Amino acid sequence: MFAALYATVLAVPLVLTAPAAVPDISLENVKAHLSRLQSIATANGGDRAHGRPGYLASADYVKNLLDAAGYTTTLQPFTHYGATGYNLIADWPGGDPGDVLMVGAHLDSVTGSPGINDNGSGSAALLEVALEVARQGLRPNRHLRFAWWGAEELGLGGSRFYVGGLAAGELSKIGGYLNFDMIASPNAGYFVYDGDDSDRTGAGPGPAGSAELEQVLQSYFAGIGVPTQGSDFDGRSDYGPFIKAGVPAGGLFTGAEGIKTTAQAKLWGGTAGQPFDPCYHRSCDTTANISDIALDRNADAIAHAVWTLATAERPQPVWSDDFETATGWTANPDGTDTATTGKWERGDPQDTDYLGPKQLGTTPSGVNALVTGPLAGPDAGAHDIDGGVTTARSPEIALPAEGPLRLSLSWYLAHGGNATAADYFRVRVSGTTTATVVEQTGAATDRDAAWATATADLSAFAGQTVRVIVEAADADTPSLVEAAVDDITITRQGTPVLPLSPAAERVATPAPLGSESLPPLP
């Protein structure tokens, strides 16, 4: 019964391909950056912590190299816990400024530690990838933005400041954020942030698009024969403010103070029963506290993700309908519908409520939607679906011969506790064959209306002329059933990695915000 409450989207899994020119990131160069960060810490009281001279010296080191390589850099000041901190933001010229791929790592250490694994490792690898972008003269389709965050160790101070200071229009341009925090732990594991919540633990999935970011990173490790495990979006690093704002996120992690299990030692080597990083947040987190193998693999994985995502072809629109104007939909196209009320109409829906919203008066965009009886009437059941099935069919849509092709739409099905599994919402695509691509059945449980998104792979229909068929039914005992559809879009995908363009499918997903270390307030 629980599973019946969720839409089933029948789609072909994504197949990810990376450009052939992805470079091999020099381990020697990455380690040279780590040596420089170690020297900075040694010369500045043993750490590179927020508000201390070692942090600003670290930021200046990274900034000077990026400036020389042709980046536009900004040293963004902020105040956190009474001290001045800095984020370093670096933009690579080119790419679509309305579709930004952002890649980040925190640059600060805790007080009393050089912070070479945490997080010199992520910062140094990211720096070398950024410099390699410049050496290669990469010409991305998406705009590339790198970030080195301050005050992560004090509650994600820098990344919170950055995300919180973005205007809504600027935030919506960020199509994905990748985070690299501790990627060279000496007793390393290989963890990829669990964007789709396939591990079914902790905080749940990231915002729409996080699963695709996870797949891109997994594809690199699959290609070198290294198994990975999921890492929960628990809010302990700088992806936290991004996912809270609804930005798709992903990243890599080799473990902190957690203990490696026997099963993980068999999977990756190393020592079971010991921390992934025995020097986590300690003074011994020096250049001796890293795994060269893990650092090398993860640096190359970052490059793989940056090249794959930044150079992916942008999806091309094929057909769309936001229902603001009439485009030729036909109700009851085969003359077989049985519903007496609540038939599909294009219109401005009115709110109805019965133990919660059952028809929404707002739409994902514009004023109108395709809805089962848009009027409210004297009570919630006055214009809901009664008597069976109602159907609406789109005009003909000529699909290109080349794919992959993707359909996306906004939808909801709402019903009272008197519904049954015979009630449903369904989307079919009909060409030379017909396939159900989205289906949601009812259940004897109250379900409130809430707009959701669904996607499906239409590549099997490439080269055909098709129609989209939307159905809903109160098909058993009389019950309260409402449904709606909006913003149906078909696109021809390039490299199928990020979903459409940034804000199109974004719904903010709250996530716990924390830090690897949250010391008491001074």
Annotated catalytic residues are 152
| Structure-block tokens of residue 325 | 């104007």
Give alpha helix (H) positions in 137-186.
157-164, 168-171
Residues contacting residue 71 through CB under 8 Å, at least 6 positions apart: 90, 91, 92, 130, 134, 146
Residue type, 59: A
Distances (CA, A) of 346 to 326, 333, 437: 8, 15, 21
For every residue of 444-466, DSSP letters joined together read SS-B----EEEEEE-GGGTTSEE
| Structure-block tokens of residue 520 | 């008491």
| Structure-block tokens of residue 106 | 């925190």
CA-based radius of gyration for the chain: 26
Helix (H) or strand (E) holding 292: helix 292-311
Contact 25, 33 (CB under 8 A): no
In this structure, the strands spanning 83-91 and 72-80 are antiparallel
Helix (H) or strand (E) holding 243: helix 240-244
In this structure, the strands spanning 405-415 and 352-353 are unpaired
CA angle 177, 179, 183 (to 5 degrees): 155
Residues contacting residue 417 through CB under 8 Å, at least 6 positions apart: 355, 444, 445, 446
- Residue of 122, 104, 108 lying closest to 152 (CA atoms): 108
Residue with tokens 């420089």: 36
In this structure, the strands spanning 465-473 and 389-393 are antiparallel
- Residue of 17, 253, 29, 16 lying closest to 132 (CA atoms): 29
- Residue of 47, 488, 102, 27 lying closest to 286 (CA atoms): 47
Q: Report the phi/psi class of residue 287: left, alpha or beta, with left for phi > 0 and alpha for psi in -120 to 50.
A: alpha
Residue 116 DSSP one-character state: I
